[in-house]
Chains A and B, each alone.
Chain A
Amino acid sequence: MTRISAAFLPLTDSAVLVAAREKGFAARQGIELDLVRSESWATLRDRLVYGQVQAAHMLAPLAIGVTLGLSQHPASLSAPFKLSVNGNLFVMGAEFAAALDPDIARRIEDPVATAHDFAAAIGLYRRKPVIGIVHRFSCHALLLRYWLGYAGIDPDRDLVLRVLPPSLMGAALGAGEIDGFIAGEPWNTAAVQEGLAEIVMVGARVWQRGVEKVLAMRTGWMEDNPDTVDRLLVALDRAASWCDEPAHHDELADLLAREDYVGRSAETIRPTLTGRLVVRPGEAPVEVPAAMLFHREAVGFPWRSHALWIYSQLVRWGMAEPSPEAEDQAAAVFRSDVYRRALAGTGAPMPGASLKVEGALSEPMGVGSHSAGLTLGPDRFFDGRVFDPADIEGYLATFRT
């Protein structure tokens, strides 16, 4: 048995790591997987950078931020596997949400109209809305900026963005310190079920296939231990397949509910797994397909175009200085080559390319691949923009007009 420690945060999308340990997928690959619960992204990062753990359940933009030297403790990190796609929800307190479409299904179906409603509501609100985000280098924050930016909102000017840990968001909302928040599940659903908030935006409606958590490693450690890395990726691929299976969602919710993992009830964890979201307290759930994905459509494959989209957004919001070197460094964090090496011959569907144009598919599409049966899901952005990783400058120019 090879012992591997992986740090995680108490979130629903830690599912693949939890299942890999608890359902024996890691053990079957000869890996004793220790999971180290962490209470902040900063501590998870420190544990990874300083070698207390070999792997971490990390916000994809944080892995890039650490590698680009934008965070404390810069280090070269690599992400050879994605742990999830989609899963972010944006919730606001009832007072603010009252200014949005009262038809909750239509509100989240139509993010274009809701973004405009949100923009109008800002001016009518009693203060500059204070929005909780979990980290500046999070997909949640980038998605929120992307969505509101569409309606002419400058999040740095028109909102107060406050960084809070997901587990404290509900309490901060209840105490009136914030007016809404965007975080990973189950913390949004928890706030809705407690009657504190309503969902105003679903990540999967803003970007149909949005990159979320990755498995991050120190690049040096990953290069030095190819055999262990390959076995770990096989274990995670099988665990992800198990997690994606609807018949396993009840068991998965029960596992995650344990105090040493997420520590919230299975009733709070299940809605995102099943795609039946509770939008407003006490009302019937709304069906959202692909609310959170773990395996189908080669979810685990680290598309370099995902890394580059994140880089483009960091540049857009002034968090990273654009340069050809930074662009290369960011793209190289996503190690599609390692994924291919590890999963070759396992029957896992394998994309032929490492980059794709993001946002171009409005229907599921079968693609040429090394093994049969890879279908990519629709991946459109709600505003119809298309991200061509070969022309980031041109893409960024479209936001400036």
Chain B
Amino acid sequence: MRIVIVDDTGLRASILEDGLAEAGFDDIHIVPPRGGFVARIERLAPDVVLMDLGSPSRDTLEEMLVVSRALARPIAMFVDQSDDAMIGAAIDAGVSAYVVDGLRKERVKPILDLAIRRFNAFARLQAELDEARTVIADRKAIDRAKAILMKSRNLSEPDAYALLRSTAMNQGRRIVEVAEALITASDLLGGAS
């Protein structure tokens, strides 16, 4: 069975590809949705096309499915059309699939289940990555603000931090917001930091 993954997020596509390979599928092609990508899909003549539901290029793909003479008429499907919960899961996970009409459902379902799991795994990974990046950025800002306070007000590090924290509490803001405001103000005043 030939599977095409339309995606330009390299990481998500390879997470999905690895999963499909582990499950024994070996005819997998990744096509980024740019330029004449539909012509490439048409040439590949896949049995299943998997695509990120959030991709703006879905309309381009669907138009190709309507006009293509080379492809058997694929239909859009969400795992099991009769199961609303599964459809919801697929939409939430952001997977859309086009399956050549007539392909037996039992053969397709494992692929779609797997795609959903892998898309979810990617989304979790992405969220963790974003969170980690934010934490690092926050810590850097707070460290810089502490350094400014230590230097300009002659405070110890714990006191500088305590001052940032009490200011944040008094103003109902996050510590990092106070730190960023301080850094901006210090930069504007030409202060060393």
Contact = CB atoms under 8 A, between A and B. Distances in A.
Interface string A209-253: 000000000000000000000000000000000000000000000
A163 B63 contact: yes
A34 interface: no
Interface in B85-112: 87-88, 91, 96
Contacts of B63: 135-136, 163
A165 B35 CA distance: 12
B57 interface: yes
Contacts of A134: 59
Contacts, number: 64
A42 B54 CA distance: 10
Contact of B60 (A50, A71, A164): A164
A40 B57 contact: yes
Contact of B96 (A43, A163, A177): A43
Contact of B76 (A72, A167, A168): A72
Nearest to B61: A42
A41 interface: yes
Contacts of B75: 72
Contacts of B62: 42, 71-72, 163
A177 B38 CA distance: 13
A346 interface: no
Interface string A52-92: 10000000000000000001110000000000000000000
Given A72-B75, A177-B35, A50 B91 contact: yes
A136 B66 contact: yes
Interface in A258-313: none
Contacts of B65: 72
Contacts of A47: 91
A51 interface: yes
Contacts of B53: 43, 46
A95 interface: no
Contacts of A163: 59-60, 62-63
A40 B55 contact: yes
The winner among A42, A46, A162 for most chain B CB atoms within 10 A is: A42
Interface in B109-124: none
A158 interface: no
A52 B91 contact: yes
B144 interface: no
Contacts of A71: 62
A163 B53 CA distance: 17
Contacts of B91: 46-47, 50, 52
Contact of A43 (B54, B60, B66, B87): B54
Interface in A15-51: 39-43, 46-47, 50-51
Nearest to A62: B59
Interface in B12-50: 35-36
Contacts of B35: 175, 177
A167 B58 CA distance: 13
Interface in A112-146: 134-136
A60 B38 CA distance: 26
Given A50-B78, A50-B84, A52-B88, A42 B66 contact: no
Nearest to A50: B87
B88 A50 contact: yes
Interface of A: 39-43, 46-47, 50-52, 71-73, 134-136, 162-165, 167-168, 175, 177
29 contacts: A39-B54, A39-B55, A39-B56, A39-B58, A40-B57, A40-B58, A41-B59, A42-B59, A42-B62, A42-B76, A43-B53, A43-B54, A46-B53, A46-B76, A46-B78, A50-B78, A50-B87, A50-B91, A51-B84, A71-B62, A72-B76, A135-B59, A136-B66, A163-B59, A163-B60, A163-B62, A163-B63, A165-B59, A177-B35
A-B pairs with the 10 shortest C-beta distances?
A: A165-B56, A163-B63, A72-B76, A42-B58, A40-B58, A39-B56, A40-B59, A163-B60, A50-B87, A40-B56
